[in-house]
Amino acid sequence: MYKILFGGFSQETNSFSPVPADRNAFEKRRLFFGEEIFEKIQGEENEVNGYLDVLQKCSDVSLTPSIMFSAGPSGPVSRDVYDLAEISILNVIRENGPFDGILLNLHGAMVAQDHPDAEGDLLQSLRLEIGRDIPIFVTLDLHANITQKMVDNATVMLPCEKYPHTDCFELGKRSAELLLKTLRGDLKPVMAFASVPYLMPLFPTDLPPIVRFYQLADEIKRKCSLVELRIAHGFFPANIPGMGMAVLAVSNGDKQTATDAAKTLASAIWEGRESLKRTYTPLDDALDLTMSGRVKWPVVLGDGSDNPGAGGPCDTTHVLRRILQRRMQGTALAVICDPKAVQICKNAGKDAYVQIALGGHSDARLSGGPLSVYGKVVRFVDGIYRNRDEMEKGLLVNMGPSVVLDISGNLVVVSSERCQVLDAEGFRSCGIDPEKQKVLIVKSAVHYRQSFGKFAGALVDLALPGYCAPDPDIFRSLGFHLG
Ligand SMILES: [Zn+2]
């Protein structure tokens, strides 16, 4: 019988974000211990359910859950949460071990107070506890910043490969299968890593300039008979030493081949890095396009600079301000997070007209400031829905009690929690038919493309001021210093 410990500790850190990642933030998303993990994550197509899908079918595997902690992307994780995660996993090892293998879902771009390389430190602690011989397999986000410490203390680390991240469940399955093969003696995994010191903008993986690197990875993998050859994109707002892109190669017992393959692919990416730049549509051009008749409705605007899925406060007002200045109608925006505005609407009641200073409270310099609006309270919703499409499919989303406002013919969802509406279900759950709008605005950089791409006439990525400007050059131009 193979005894396997599994768990997860995941948060993407934007070191500049004013949004705290304290215990409260984790309690809102996931702060689960032991057996409750099974029940709490039912129905979600995530990495851990990928592990379970493979391992629960094996009669020779005994599974021990440890913890599953996650918070929305935000500032550095508080010291108490990091300590709680580390000691909780160590305690499960001490009380229920020894284990034959460990499966962990981490992000890879987590920064904690006093732990700039949070995943590296966590893996080192686990490695010290269990020794060198027990395999530790780790699933990572595509945006992981891979460090030498992470590589030194994990047996195999695999980032997902798609952006939008629609392959998390498959990634979990793949890692569990490889761990099983290792335990059964059918695989002797050897991992090599090569960093690419390039800070890439947020880059959808179906765009041609990056597709060619994935094709090259496939060629090298086949030629060298590798088990895996994967590219981590890195996450520049984490702002830690050594961040950027990286290549991870896994071979069956052949260190040199894995090392050479990782270096070959990393060199090719470095040489071709100029192709991995993006251009963004200016806001007025994007709004002109929506009304030009050249593309069918709805046109979806991705305001990635305030993406709560990258640490944004989710309350900037740039797009709505311009829409109202231009006297446009027929747009729908989800969401602006402003709990005080929700309360004012509640006090006023359904069908009432309210005058409010909406959003923009997070930061006067970047947010655009509060927007003075006069609107009708159309309806109240509980803000809870389940994603329907492939990106984070099945995930139960909670944007908190929310209100739909009609502001001069535009529907604006005001929420009481930050929420990246990356699934069209976010609009439907608020009584808004996304397919009947002219323009949809979401605070999402890339993930929205999967769900909205099914029916949108065009998807337009913006790069406005905000804590999550999707490009390192634009980020720097806003006054952020990337070390
Ligand atoms: Zn990611």
Cα-to-chain-centroid distance, residue 452: 17
Give, in degrees to the nearest 5, the angle at Cα 372 between 306 and 416: 50
User: How many Å lie between the centroid of ligand 1 and the Cα of residue 460?
Assistant: 19
User: What is the average pLDDT across 118-124?
Assistant: 98
User: How many Å lie between the centroid of ligand 1 and the Cα of residue 383?
Assistant: 24
User: How many Å lie between the centroid of ligand 1 and the Cα of residue 327?
Assistant: 36
Q: Which residues contact 215 (CB under 8 A, 6 or more apart)?
A: none
**Spatial strand order in the sheet of 458-462:** 353-358, 371-381, 402-407, 410-415, 331-337, 439-442, 299-303, 458-462
Q: Say how far apart CA 432 and CA 289 lie, in whole Å.
A: 22
- In this prediction, residue 363 carries a pLDDT of 87
Burial 425-438 (b: 16+ CB within 10 A, else e): bbbebbebebeebb
- In this prediction, residue 261 carries a pLDDT of 98
Q: For 342-392, what is each residue's pLDDT tens digit?
A: 999 999 999 999 999 999 999 888 999 999 999 999 999 999 999 999 999
Kindly report the pTM of this predicted structure. Answer: 0.95
Nearest to 87 by CA among 125, 57, 59: 125
Q: Say how far apart CA 97 and CA 80 lie, in whole Å.
A: 25
Contact predicate 78/113, CB 8 Å? yes
User: How many Å lie between the centroid of ligand 1 and the Cα of residue 409?
Assistant: 35
User: How many Å lie between the centroid of ligand 1 and the Cα of residue 136?
Assistant: 22
| 427, two tokens | 């609009």
Domains, the chain, with CATH or none: 2-275 (3.40.50.2300), 283-477 (no CATH)
Q: For 378-430, what is each residue's pLDDT tens digit?
A: 999 999 999 999 999 999 999 999 999 999 999 999 999 999 999 999 999 99
User: How many Å lie between the centroid of ligand 1 and the Cα of residue 371?
Assistant: 31
Task: Give the DSSP per-residue string, 218-252.
Answer: HHHHHHTT-SEEEEE---GGG--TT-SEEEEEEEE
User: What is the average pLDDT across 297-319?
Assistant: 97
Taken in order 298, 303, 308, 313, is the CA torsion positive or negative? negative
